[in-house]
Amino acid sequence: MQIGTDKVAEMARLARLELENDEIKALTVELSGILEYVAKLQQLDTTGVEPVSHALAVVNAFREDEVAPSLSREEALANAPVATGEAFVVPKVF
C-alpha cells in the first residue's frame, strides 16, 4: 500500500510533530513499505472475531475513594521547563 507525502504531513500535524521536507519524504517511503507488509493481515479471515485489546480477562478495578498522600506542589513543578512558584507557564495559546 502506497501513501503520499501529503498523508504523512497530515499525520504529523495530528501528532503535533513538525517534520522537515526530507524527513517527510523518507518517512513516506518507509511507511509505504511497512504498510505493504502489515497488509498481510488481510489474508486472515477475521469475520466474527472479537478484537482483543487486553490479553487477560480483567474487568474494571475499583477501589474506595480515599484521600492518600500525593506530590507536593513543589515536587510536581520541579521538572517544569518554566514555572512560577504555583503554576506551569506556557506560551500564549493564540
Partner 1 sequence: MDIHQFTISQLAEQLTARRLSSREATEAVLDRIEATGERVNAYITVDREGALAAAEAADRRLATGGAPPLCGVPVAIKDLLCTKGVRTTGGSEILENFVPPYSATVVEKLQQAGAVLVGKTTMDEFAMGSSNEHCALAVPRNPWNLDYICGGSSGGSAAAVAADQCMAALGTDTGGSIRQPASNCGVVGVKPTYGRVSRYGVLAFASSLDQVGPLTKDVRDAALLLNAICGHDPRDSTSVHEPVPDFTAELGCGLAGLRFGLPREYFEVGLDEDVKKAVMAAIGQLEEAGAEVREISLPRTEYGVAAYYLIAPAEASSNLSRYDGVRYGYRDQDAQDLLEMYRRSRSRGFGREVKRRIIIGTYALSSGYYDAFYRKASQVRALIIEDYRRALQECDVIISPVTPTPAWPLGSKSDPLSMYLTDILTIPTNLAGLPGMSLPCGFSHNGLPIGLQLQAGHFREDLLLRAAATIEERLGFAGRRPRL
Binding residues (CB under 8 A) for partner 1: these are 3, 7-8, 11-12, 14-19, 23, 27, 30-31, 33-35, 37-38, 40-44, 46, 49-56, 58, 60-61, 63, 71, 75-76, 78-82, 88, 90-94
Angle at 82 between CA 80 and CA 87, to 5 degrees: 75
Compute φ and ψ for 77, nearest 5 degrees: -90, -10
What is the nearest approach in angstroms of partner 1 to the Cβ of residue 70? 10
CA 5 to CA 18: how far, in whole Å?
14
**Distance in Å, CB of 69 to partner 1, minimum:** 11
